[in-house]
Structure 1
Amino acid sequence: MTLFWVASAILILLSSVLIAIPIIRKKANTDDVLRDELNKALYKDRVSELAEETRSGIVDDQQELVNDLKLSLLDDVPNHQSSKARRSITPLAVLLPSIVFVIALSYGMYFKFGASGKVEEWQQVSANLPELSKKLLVPEGAVLSDDEMRDLTLALRTRLYYHPDDSTGWLLLGRIALANRDVITAIGAMKKAYKLKPDDDDVKLGYAQALMLSQEELDQTVARRILGQLVQNDYVDLRVFSLLAFDAYERADYTAAIRYWKVMQRMIGPEDGRYSMLVQSIDNAQQQLATSTASDKSVSVTIAVSDQVNIEPNSALIVSVHSADGSPMPVAAARYPLGSFPRTVVLDDTNSMLQDRKLSSLESLLVRVRLDKDGNVATKQEDWFGESEVVKMGQPVSVTIDRQY
């Protein structure tokens, strides 16, 4: 607030100077003097004209007309008393009330419409940013109230306005948005943090969490790639495997979901209260997997990778089902994060490419698997792939990735 008072005082001082200049520099009112001079000049001119008219015989009594002219001039003499009264008002008598009025009006309008209370509250919230941030950064930490979350958001936005290169600030803002399910803000904040520190594992995890909430398939693909990098970097965080498990389950990749949940079980141990919840999740996924595998309308594909294959960490796994004649156009296809091998995926009618041609309509089929290194399905250069033998619908399929385009 000190800065505000200094700035407002300077502005009022400048306003006062602008008011004072014309008042101080105001010249004495010379209208009366000018009128006297003008009347004298007119009188002399008229007297000269009367003399000329008398010589010409136009005027008979020049003196009478001169007397009338003098009377007229006398009637136009200014009231010196009123002029003196006007001159008795000093510039200071006008200047001081004007300055007082400007000060009263300025501060009165500010206190009425300037939201000074909210400004003070905003500054107090900004000053509490370190304390609020500590609460949010504590793992399994203290739960912030709605008011504290709102204050922390305001303080962070203020700080980030003046310090846009603060990656920690963007990370905190993204976490708050995640807690409030504000997907757009979360993705935007986490993306800024990721650009500032692309190698920070905590930032990577936050960015992946935000992208997983997006409805865009491209965002979710990027999230899977980032999570795959974290797993390969041995970044041990329960949330990484939880996100991967949930994503795999949503995509009906029940084998991968079970594998990730079992990793989480080993990380927390049986004594943890969440262990029983993981057991339920695994049981549910195993039931779904058994149902899918038992159905003659789905294709279960077990994928292995040859030792000669050099896997790029950013690669994506693309599995496609084709008719037995080897047509390049797949009947069904699915895209998965890289994960680990060997692994099993299940494709069914939900993965069909065309509505009028379902996967379940095939009697025989073959499966092609590709490690797409650049994320573009249209390019195949240097991608590794494998192809199965022709099998009947409902039979398990095994594919080994061992060839390169």
Structure 2
Amino acid sequence: MIDFWLAAGLLLLVALSFLLIPVLRSRRAQLEEDRTALNVALYQERVAELQVQQQEGVLDAAQMDAGRAEAARELLADTEGVAAPRVTRLGKAAPLLAAILVPVLGLGLYLHFGASDKVELTREFAQAPQSMEEMTRRLERAVAAQPDSAEALYFLGRTYMTQDRPADAAKIFERTVNLAGRQPELLGQWAQAQYFADGKKWSDKVQALTDEALKADPKEVTSLGLLGIAAFEGQRFQEAIDYWNRLLEQLPPDDQSRIALQGGITRASEKLVASGGKVAQAPAAKPAALLKVRVDLAADLKSKVQPGDSVFIFARATSGPPAPLAAKRLTVADLPATVELGDGDAMMPQLKLSNFPEVQLVARISRAGQPTAGEWIGRSQPLASSTTAPQQLTIDSPDK
């Protein structure tokens, strides 16, 4: 902030100069007026002396006129070049008063309406925090400076949870939901914080939050994990196993939390068996979808494309979200080419080929490298995502 205040100080000096220069000029003018008055007084004194000498008979009339003319010439010489006095209605007090009030008023307005706190926060966030406590303080200041920022609130809530402050986190997540809307992930985070804030006691409020989250997104991971924990604490071990198995399906294969989650499923299974129960077999998972497609370019288009043009090959649900379920990127120089699109190529974990019964294959040429718009395109007829037979896809139509 030092450089900011230095710049502000320089600008303030420039502004004050416009106010103080007229005052300094008026002082110089006053000095010139005082000197002129002194010269006039000396002239009058000289004329009076000449009159006394004439009355005493020392000077005759001609000498008197010559002496008076000489005194007048000296007065004229002394006052020559003096500017006429400027008439002003402001006086001296107004500029001086303004010179004092301008910086004080400017500072007050900046502290009230300015963004010095946000400037300082930007500087702080440019440097890595030295501790979790320092990160928490920064986030709290960010929320105070930007109370309508859902992102800042969300990260502050997550930070409170890592510091074992669930009551504070629950309040923050509630504010986040009010700002960003009742998104499933936010509802799940709020429910989890509220559950731990209540001393791991299940409540109607937590139940309502998890129900709403899973209704909007049946694969919302925080709600699934929380319901598994609550079921385990309530000795409903089969429910805990079911919820955690559903959660396990959503996690990437390399997710570190899979180990702990699998351990929880094992403990719940052991306790269920020890209590005389029997672990219900989970329904068989759907086989992973894998589509094999050969992509080629129509003969009449080969002269209209460049070897470096991008080729996007993807599968999308015929009835479902418009986002691609799996995608690959090639160039025109690679064609013809055979590619495989499967669950491992999913753009998002919850959008897998095997989760949708019917899909469409699309290949698009884009000179600008944009997957959503291009010059030429090829589309297949709808086909089952479980199809195993190789497919043929030809790029042959303008992309409209």
Same fold (TM over 0.5): no
The normalised TM-score by structure 1 is 0.37
